[in-house]
Chain A
Amino acid sequence: DAGVIQSPRHEVTEMGQEVTLRCKPISGHNSLFWYRQTMMRGLELLIYFNNNVPIDDSGMPEDRFSAKMPNASFSTLKIQPSEPRDSAVYFCASSPGGRVVEKLFFGSGTQLSVL
């Protein structure tokens, strides 16, 4: 079975450019999470969807960040305009539902470098 698929694996861009990160959750999973990992702040939840609806976006840093989930099999995280401090590894994760019992399955992450 395919796991959570993220693309691209690596992204290098210049400050001010738009960046779009993509995620395909595991088929049948109803919950999707975007996390950011940095040395300073560790793993931070950015946004969480359940049945394609954003449930908690309190972790989204600022208006430059936006996330969408147009259908159950695809989500995007967009940064516009990007800044050097956005450099991090961005993980997408999915779980079968929104229940607290369920574990999250993580993708391999996107390493973003903003120069």
Chain B
Amino acid sequence: AQKVTQAQTEISVVEKEDVTLDCVYETRDTTYYLFWYKQPPSGELVFLIRRNSFDEQNEISGRYSWNFQKSTSSFNFTITASQVVDSAVYFCAARFLQGAQKLVFGQGTRLTINP
């Protein structure tokens, strides 16, 4: 089965706290790409990052960082020093070489940053 799972349905933290959103995927493919998208209250889906299955280097972009670990099939997303504007639903997704290469989404994690 090819699947993406985000076990955390909702997370609520106070501003300036660090928060990690979990993502676990299942596949037998050796070639695949992992993505994170943000859906703010306005509703559109905004691309955040893409990672290929052969590159396990962690990535940092400002307050955002991503930890990709093939050994645990995880691609977790951390926001450091969270801000109210980070409040959104975050989706982890994957495109697998098999399965018509469609983008498979996790269920999403609703993140609320309280002032």
Contacts and interface: CB of A to CB of B under 8 A. Distances in A.
Range of interface residues on chain B? 20 to 34
Interface string B73-104: 00000000000000000010001110011111
Contacts of B47: 103-105
A45 B96 CA distance: 14
A101 B33 contact: yes
Interface in A63-115: 89, 91, 93, 98-109, 111
Contacts of A55: 100
A6 B5 CA distance: 28
Contacts of A101: 33, 50, 52, 95
A56 B103 contact: no
B43 A99 contact: no
Interface in A29-72: 33, 42-43, 45, 48, 55-56
23 contacts: A33-B103, A42-B105, A42-B106, A43-B91, A43-B108, A45-B102, A45-B103, A45-B104, A56-B102, A91-B45, A100-B32, A100-B33, A100-B101, A101-B50, A102-B95, A103-B50, A104-B47, A104-B103, A105-B47, A106-B45, A108-B42, A108-B43, A108-B44
Interface of A: 33, 42-43, 45, 48, 55-56, 89, 91, 93, 98-109, 111
Interface of B: 31-33, 35, 37, 42-45, 47, 50, 52, 91, 95-97, 100-108
